[in-house]
Structure 1
Amino acid sequence: MTYVEDFASGENVLAPRAWLDDDSGRLALNGDWSFRLSPTVADAPDDLKDPDTSGWDTIAVPGHWQLSGYGAPAYTNIDYPFPLEPPYVPTDNPTGDYVRVVTVPADWDGARIVLRFEGVDSRFAVFVNGSEVGWSSGSRLPSEFDITSLVAPGKEARIAVRVHQWSLGSYVEDQDMWWLSGIFREVNLLALRPDAPTDVFVKAAWDHIDGNGTLLVESDVPGTVSVPELGLSVTTGEHVRVEGVEPWSAEVPRLYDAVLRTAGGEVRLRIGFRTVAVVDGIFTVNGNRVLFNGVNRHEFHPDRGRALTEQDMLDDVLIMKRAGINAVRTSHYPPHPHFLALCDEYGLYVIDECDLETHGFGYEPQPPKLPNPVMDPRFRDDLVDRMRRTVHRDKNHPSIVIWSLGNECGMGSNLKDMYDAVKELDPSRPVHYERDTEAEFVDIYSRMYTSPEGCAEIGADTSLYRNLPFILCEYGHAMGNGPGGLVDYREVFEKYPRCQGGFIWEFIDHGLRTTIDGREVYAYGGDFGETIHDGNFVCDGLLFPDRTPSPGMHEYIKVIEPLRIVADGNRVSITNRYEVLDTSHLRFTLSLEAEGEVIGGGGLQVPVIAPGETVSVELPPEIEKERGAGRPETWLTVTAELADATSWADAGHRVAWGQIRLDEPALAAAVPAGSPAEGTVGVQGIDIAGLRNIRLDVWRAPIDNDAIPGVAAAWREQGLHRVQHRIVSQGEREGAWEVVTRTAPPALQWGLRSTWRWTAVENGLVLELSVVPEGLFPEVLPRLGITFELPKVERVEWFGTGPNEAYVDTREAAAVGKYSATVAELQTPYVRPQENGHRVDTRWTRLDGLRIEAVDELFGLTVRDWTTQALEAAEHTADLVPGDTTYVTLDIAQTGVGTAACGPSLPDRDKLKTAPAALTLRFTR
């Protein structure tokens, strides 16, 4: 058995230590390396002690070889793409050789020279100047090798690295992501001078009772720590009280610059004073209950995979801060250390997770599967070592408030040993592990995708699970169109103190940019010819692959916004949901609109609101006089925005908003008198002012939350995707032209009988539609409405909810107003095409010259340049090509979107139950 299949974590690897910003000599080895890929380990020549690279290719480091033209990416969620027979790996094990020749700086004489790798996937061996140095695994953890005896300052050094796609480590790195190989993080050559610190542990706490801090800095080399802003100078190992210090939190990420000086060198520190504690079942930071408005974040870029730049990491942090997100779970491995430094600086709570997942083994040992590695003693030392390496590297980040043992590994004694290792190294932080379902040894009780009702049961009964704080480490699965129902979770989190929020799965779609049939697309599982894959399950983020926010992100921003702004009689009620901030950094503005037209506005004077407090504010007289003034539908929008620029957003950035309706909703208007619209009906439908092929619509292109849990399959069994239409009768009846149709699927005994009453009025027609189900009809419909065709429409204007798509359970972010967009702009480019673009509660719309308005009940509006059938058949957005026809759907109602692709089923409240229904519309030119 070679080292590729060894149960150890490495050989000749230096002990783990903290990631430090020090003055050690550093030579970055990023850039071009000579590269050779062999299809198997056996095919890789045994020449790395003195390789001739004259015929080799060149590859960029950091990077993945599959994204550089060698092999192909592969995506699986659970199943391993190789047989489960640890420690063995496939003979077909692609092996990449990297070689770089560098000159060791001449002034490094007398220093210990260390070769450091920040991340290599999967297992790798190192050779320097013809000598074998050692090997290591733990793909997303650093590895260091002492090569002092093998190199000479001022001389060239030949560094060769052999990287294997598969290794024993692959069995414990079954994270839900693309399998990508290579040196994907930085490589550095370091010069560690004698008497220079190499491992430092900053322990900075804050007492919320007396407002003072404490500081202890431990170092492997003694020295003095200077904190100029505090006028503090203290020796390492000395525990001191620091008066008047400001605490660090995600909302106010106060950091103090410090320097540790020893005889041999300096380390620059950024100290955040904060204390994490679990008190009476509540997770607290600095004495305050924390509500995690979080996301799970994989490292991903559509072109570079997990090889992120510092700008990529900053982009992620700024997106989160601007969205009101306050926490990140690093799923499912430690991120690049620069990302954690940004979380310290900008303010994000972090659950730092070990590089561990064994999902493909299942949660319990069941034949024919082998015992999970977390219960296999052969894996014990490597798993404990991975946890120690995680803690050591990241221990100095105040943003890290919880350690996590890993993800989806079932239960086993190795996990308990990992927990014990964390507590030995750092007892100051709680430890999380979701699959400890009975809370046997964790400090946080955690679940995935529990329904709001299930969360409420846990919140209400403090006798459960040792009364530990409860978080959802994953919820609100953001795959495709969704997630829906997020506001239900927010209500539970606010009602039960023990329920302390959670982390949306996940932050970004992992669509890899590529070309298929000459068209650029974002690829998902199967697009690279994988025989085992999980399709577009890798695209389940709040951001599209290019980091554009999806409608789900806009919805989440609204649900978690830090202020609640609602009507309070004739006043406005504002609740401060911040943890520590008052509202002195915000200004409040008003915008008054009548049927979408701005008729007034200005500022709103709001007293400073303390965290957790609510105030009721009187509206200005000029606004109040508009109440019930006989105007059209009138809405007041109250916005809270940043008064001044911050490190993460400009002044004027919207933080929260709320709408208040000022007019009295009118009674349903009577249908205008007119004459029967005789002659407008044909066998295939109705041709009115350019409308063609008008008919009842009950089908939508299944969203991921329909398809994956089998809801769409059940709808197909009920024939909803292939209904046929029949005209039962037509003629003048009671002052209208009445057409009765029946919509039903072949071979089944149910249908929808629809009565279409058309009345000609000035410049148009009024439609009174009533629908009655007959027979053994389905309990739930995807949608119910009418669809028709128009000659190509360029621009759509509407008064209703917007600007983005909204469904019955994703409407928190939808503001009532007047909007305008091209048909192309109305589409949401989900990586796998599906139902999208619906605007719930539309009052009226104008499609070029055609105006459609609700006479009584509001309608849902969808406008596309392709049919539902084309949308359903498409595999990528590039498959959808506009033609000369625009397709319009006006819904009476539509089933909600939910989060059932990975989560609870859609609640009955959001299902469109089959029942008699009606809709009245006015069509005018």
Structure 2
Amino acid sequence: MTGLPWYTSFAPERGTLPPRAWTADSDAARLPLGGDWAFRLSPAADAADTSFAGPGFDAGDWRTVTVPGHWVLQGKDGEFGGPAYTNVVYPFPVDPPHVPDENPTGDHLRRFDLPDGWPDGGGAVLRFDGVESCARVWLNGTELGWFKGSRLAHEFAVGPLLRERDNVLAVRVHQWSSGSYLEDQDQWWMPGIFRDVTLLHRPDGAPGDFFVHASYDHAAGTGELRVDCDVPGRVRVPELGVDVAAGESVTVPVEPWSAEVPRLYEGELTAGGERIGLRIGFRSVYVEDGVLKANGRRILFRGVNRHEFHPETGRALDLGTMRADVELMKRHNINAVRTSHYPPHPAFLDLCDAYGLWVIDEGDLETHGFEELGWRGNPVDDERWTPALLDRAARLVERDKNHPSVVLWSLGNECGTGAGLRATARWIRDRDPSRPVHYEGDRSCPEVDVYSRMYPPHAEVGTIGRREDEGPEHRRELPFILCEYAHAMGNGPGGLTEYQRLFETYERCQGGFVWEWIDHGLAHPVHGYGYGGDFGEELHDGNFVCDGLLFPDRTPSPGLVEYKKVIEPVRIAPGERPGTALVSNLHDVADLSSLAFVWEFLADGEAVAEGGLAVPPLTAGERVEVELPPVPAHPAGAEAVWTVRAVLAADTVWAPAGHEVAWGQLPVSAPRPLPAGSGAGPVADGGRILLGPAVLDARTGAPLSLGGLPVSAFGLDVWRAPTDNDEGAPWQPDTRWGTLWRELGLHRMQHRTDAVAVDGEGVTVRSRVAPAARDVGLAVTYRWTSDGTGVRLGVDVVPEGDWPVPLPRLGVRLGLPAALDRAQWYGGGPGEAYPDTRAAARLGIWESTVAGLQTPYVRPQENGARIGTRWLELTGPDAGVRVEGEPSFWFTARRWTHADLDAAAHRPDLVPGDTLWLNLDHALHGIGSQSCGPGVLPEHRLEAAPASFSLWFTPTGG
């Protein structure tokens, strides 16, 4: 094909230097070129000529943008366009390698002087770490060349062109290029120079590249080191006594590197007049007997997928934000990252080396939009694109090859199959045979070392774990990982505990990577955080971009708190013998010497004693029964429980001493029973019935007030504002509960009172709750009794008809005055929990404002349930109410209705009203992860079935 503009050619670059290893530690001078750049935006690729790159061009009337940055996130009132979100489809016609004439083009100008002391002689390199989607570059009027590959590093030799003063760097960036067909990742499309631009001095004879080979022999306890360099040099590692020529191998006793014990040795390579710092981690990663191992031990990934994202700067991240991400991961027991779906900023991998994270480093390659076309024209199966694929693979591997944290190379994501992928895999194997190769999109697994899947249901994971899965015979010999699972969109994900037990049961199942790390909600002047469609996009995928374990501001979601608990590397459970705790070390490598164990004894939620617990420094995989102290004195009849916690014994780089790593609760005695609720009979009073502190409506039997507090809209409630996971994925229509619940009419249930019977002991109300136009319903009996101080409610529910769906919830709802703005409860907390997201709910006494009970999902939905509640007190300035349950109950309290919550598209849409809506639930339907993954497991579904429960209401002071 001829006559194509450069940005739509099949070629990946022109004029750039070969890719090489990246290092932040070198004595070579460097000049960061970030900051304010002059900027001009044109609506099309050919709307402006290239005269701006020439000497003396006057850009005085241009605007300014910050580099690194995306121009669509800068400017005023959308003057530079806006971001656009699609998951799969391309936002332009699919006609590779062509792109539309409507191709926003940003011209950038940066003037700079060389700093005082810039070395004389030698050469210089101009480095771009990331530009979307392509760039054409000039320096002092001379065109250097162009490149594609948005998340890849590109360098130009510029030494002869530099001047001491008034250098002019000009860069033209097109939003769309042929490279865009290879970058259809599930994320915002945001053009710009979004990573660092740096000028680097290179002494004459400086190395072009170097490769650190640092393997570990776990049987001998030794490491073999060889640093290859393309010019003669010397390698020194003082701590190991190493001083050898580059290219020479040496074997020495070492401590291995792992994610749990990230042992690094400081060294240096001196070559060609340049000193390059080395941070060497000795480790060997390989597949043996169908299991992925590092240093002789099986790896269990407790991982996350991580896009680079900040709500204000998009994919332009500073070092502080990257460090915050890594520290949050470590504090939440995460040990692995898949760099979905491109190589990260190179500084992120330095952090992974230092803090300790296993990394699957993924190529900047995804062609998912071709799936919509039956994969017709897929570039990875078109030989014209193969040079571009190989260029992307080389830039991935060469840049990152010296990082011990990188343990697998991933070819890319959701690209289908094709000869180009096979060629890429073979190139990677030839260049770096020390790391296994990963790719999920070809289930025949012809060129990979691990079998990888996205979102398989639990039952299938078990089948795969037993190596009973169908498919190519050689695939059953591979280790299995879930490169994506537990889709963390909105409320959820559910089912994490059940996945983790499978990983621990089957050696082949080596964990997975939750999708994903952070919600990609962009700062929005009206919505708070915007998602697809909020920036004027005609084609978008809505809030599917908000599917992270962190909210956009990096606040941990309940999903991350749950994940931390599920994957904790120490398990504390009741021992087989009374009075003991079973402590299991689930680390892959580390012993427990870095942890201290403490206990607390709770009676009805109150701590009555505490102390330290002696636990031996178990090696990885060991367990022991530990004797607990004698049961402390506590009130008779109180519910008693031990809480045992594993905390850091000393400060680490990622958390201080005392940081909690794991915990367990060991029950001693059961909760107290509710009072019988007898002794104060009902009294008729016109249209009312007086029953102890309660006033009931004589016609409906519903409470009108309690201790003077008005009560409204009491009744059985089965509805919830569907979660993203309730709404489900289109390819699973039979279990898209949100849609099926609405079709049945559960959001508009109608209530009928059949009888209100008053006897000497209390009031019995018989009613029916059912959806319009359907012949299914729920027969409900309410029984009200009192002892004069409080009032007891017994509820019996019997389904009628053939219920085709599970219920969202089953309990009672009532309206109370909004002045009741504080909650204290004894039960599970402190955060929300549902039947399949309850691992992190810890028994105790907790308190919160009503506002604090809400979980601020970017798209509002059912949230905020507290589990296992023994009692709840809601109080205001002048009055309050206490609720107790038998069995324990779930509660939610919010100042808007289910309908308000269901109708809201963004957080600011929820406006508090003058009623506090309180749900007291006997049971809830689970959450699952069906927004992209499997639905709610059968054991967590709330099927329509007979149920009985009791509640006890007592008015209290304010």
Name which of 377, 396, 419 aligns with 1:413.
419
Deviation at 1:855, TM superposition (A): 4.8
Deviation at 1:775, TM superposition (A): 2.6
Query: 2:97, 2:191 → 1: CA distance?
Result: 19
Counterpart contact for 1:676–1:758, Cα < 8 Å: no
Aligned-partner SS, 1:536 = helix
Note if contact 1:197-1:267 (Cα within 8 Å) is conserved in structure 2: no
Match of 1:167 in 2: 177
User: Residue 691 of structure 1 aligns with which residue?
Assistant: 711
Structure 1 residues 876 and 763: CA distance shift in structure 2, 3 A: same
2:638–2:671 CA contact under 8 A, matched in 1: no
- The correspondence of residues 273-352 of structure 1 with structure 2, limited to 5 A, is 273-352=282-361
Distance in structure 2 (CA, Å) of the matches to 1:97 and 1:662: 70
Q: In the alignment, which of 698, 701, 704 is matched to residue 724 of structure 2?
A: 704
Write the distance in 1 (CA, Å) between the matches of 2:371 and 2:804.
36
Q: Give the equivalent residue in structure 2 for 1:559.
A: 566
| CA–CA separation in structure 2 for the residues paired with 1:159 and 1:914 | 69
* Equivalent in the alignment of 1:133: 144
Q: Does 1:757 align with 2:783?
A: yes
Give the equivalent residue in structure 2 for 1:212: 222
User: Cα offset for 1:731?
Assistant: 2.3
**Residue 31 (structure 2) aligns with:** 27
State the Cα deviation string for residues 868-892 of structure 1 (Å, max 9, x = none).
Answer: 1111111111111212211000111
The yes-or-no answer on 1:828 pairing with 2:855 is: yes
Distance 1:577 1:401 in 2: 21
Deviation at 1:867, TM superposition (A): 0.8
Question: Which deviates more from structure 2 when the two are superposed, residues 140-149 or residues 429-438?
Answer: 140-149
Note the aligned Cα RMSD (angstroms).
1.6
7-16 vs 748-757, greater mean Cα deviation:
748-757
- Is the CA contact (8 Å cut-off) linking 1:669 and 1:855 kept in structure 2? no
1:803 to 2:807 alignment: no
Q: For the Cα contact (< 8 Å) 1:80–1:174, is it kept in 2?
A: yes
* CA deviation string 1:818-858 (max 9, x = no partner): 11111001000000000000012211111114444445322
Counterpart Cα distance in 2 of 1:190 and 1:584: 44
Write out aligned runs for 1:827-866 (5 A). Answer: 827-848=854-875, 849-866=879-896
**Residue 878, structure 1, aligned to residue 913, structure 2:** no
Matched, 1:87 2:103: no
Q: 1:168 Cα deviation (Å)?
A: 0.5
Contact 2:824 2:845 in 1 (8 A): yes
In 1: Cα distance, 2:522 partner to 2:118 partner: 44
Contact in 1 for aligned 2:677/2:787 (Cα 8 Å): no
Secondary structure at 2:892 match in 1: strand
Q: Distance in 1 between matches of 2:488 and 2:382?
A: 34
Counterparts of 1:403-802 in structure 2, within 5 Å, are 403-461=409-467, 465-516=475-526, 521-568=528-575, 569-570=577-578, 571-623=580-632, 630-664=636-670, 670-676=676-682, 678=684, 679=689, 680-681=696-697, 685-689=702-706, 690-709=710-729, 710-733=736-759, 735-792=761-818, 793-802=820-829
Residue 903 (1) aligns with residue 933 (2): yes
Match of 1:7 among 10, 15, 19: 10
CA deviation string 1:148-167 (max 9, x = no partner): 33334x24321100000011
Deviations 1:611-660 (A, max 9, x none): 1011001111254x66xx73311111000101111111100000110001
- Quick one: which of 391, 396, 399 aligns to 1:393? 399
Deviation at 1:108, TM superposition (A): 4.0
Equivalent residue letter for 2:895: D
Is contact 1:374-1:380 (8 Å) kept?
Answer: yes
1:261 aligns with 2:270: yes
Give the aligned residue type for 2:171: V
TM-score (norm 2): 0.94
| 3-state secondary structure, aligned to 1:902 | coil
Matches within 5 A, 1:147-226: 147-152=158-163, 154-226=164-236
Aligned CA distance change for structure 1 residues 764 and 237 (closer, same or farther; 3 Å): same
Cα displacement (A) at 1:113: 2.0
**Alpha-carbon shift at residue 708 of structure 1 (Å):** 3.1
Distance 1:444 1:266 in 2: 38
SS in 2 for 1:901: coil
Cα pair distance change 1:664/1:795, threshold 3 Å: closer
Aligned to 2:918: 888
Alpha-carbon distance in 1 for matches of 2:480, 2:804: 38
Of stretches 345-354 and 567-576 in structure 1, the one that deviates more from structure 2 is 567-576
Q: In 2, distance between residues paired with 1:794 and 1:769? A: 27
Preserved CA contact (<8 Å) 1:208 1:287: yes
Partner secondary structure for residue 18 of structure 2: coil
Shift of 1:777: 3.2
Q: Using the alignment, how far apart are the partners of 2:682 and 2:209 within structure 1?
A: 87
**1:191, distance to aligned residue in structure 2 (A):** 1.6
The separation in 1 between residues aligned to 2:510 and 2:413, in whole angstroms, is: 20
Kindly indicate whether the alpha-carbon contact (under 8 Å) linking 2:887 and 2:949 is maintained by their aligned counterparts in 1.
Answer: yes
What is the distance in 2 between the residues matched to 1:777 and 1:395? 58
Return the letter of the residue paired with 1:577.
L
Q: Aligned-pair distance for 1:803?
A: 0.5
For 2:569, the aligned partner's letter is P
Question: How far apart, CA to CA, are the structure 2 residues paired with 1:246 and 1:855?
Answer: 55
**Counterpart residue type for residue 47 of structure 1:** S
The aligned residue for residue 42 of structure 1 is: 46
Contact 1:102 1:156 in 2 (8 A): yes
Report the Cα distance in structure 1 between the residues aligned to 2:952 and 2:272, rounded to whole angstroms. 84
Distance in 2, matches of 1:552 and 1:664, equals 29
CA shift digits 1:329-370 (9 cap, x unpaired): 00000000000000000100000000011111118x63xx63
The whole-number CA distance in structure 2 between the counterparts of 1:852 and 1:454 is 46
1:687 Cα offset (Å) = 0.7
Q: Aligned partners of 1:669 and 1:573: how far apart in 2?
A: 36
For each residue in 1:435-459, what CA deviation from the matched residue of structure 2 results, as whole angstroms up to 9, or x when unmatched? Answer: 1212111001100001121111111
Structure 2 CA distance for aligned equivalents of residues 240 and 608 of structure 1: 33
Q: CA deviation at 1:671?
A: 5.0
Q: 1:562 & 1:361 partners in 2: Cα distance?
A: 41
Deviation at residue 146 of structure 1 after TM alignment: 1.5
- Could you tell me how far 1:757 is from its partner in structure 2? 1.2
Q: Which segment drifts farther, 709-718 or 209-218?
A: 709-718
With the length of structure 1 as denominator, give the TM-score of the two structures: 0.97
- 1:720-755 C-alpha deviation (Å, 9 max, x unpaired): 011111212212157321122221122222221211
Partner of 2:948: 918
Distance change in 2, residues 1:866/1:611 (3 Å) = same
CA contact (8 A) 1:405 1:418 kept: yes
- Give the number of aligned pairs: 914
How much does 1:110 deviate?
A: 2.4
Residue identity in the other structure for 1:699: W
In structure 2, distance between residues paired with 1:703 and 1:594:
36
Query: Judging changes above 3 Å, is the alpha-carbon distance between structure 1 residues 206 and 480 closer, same or farther for their aligned structure 2 residues?
Result: same
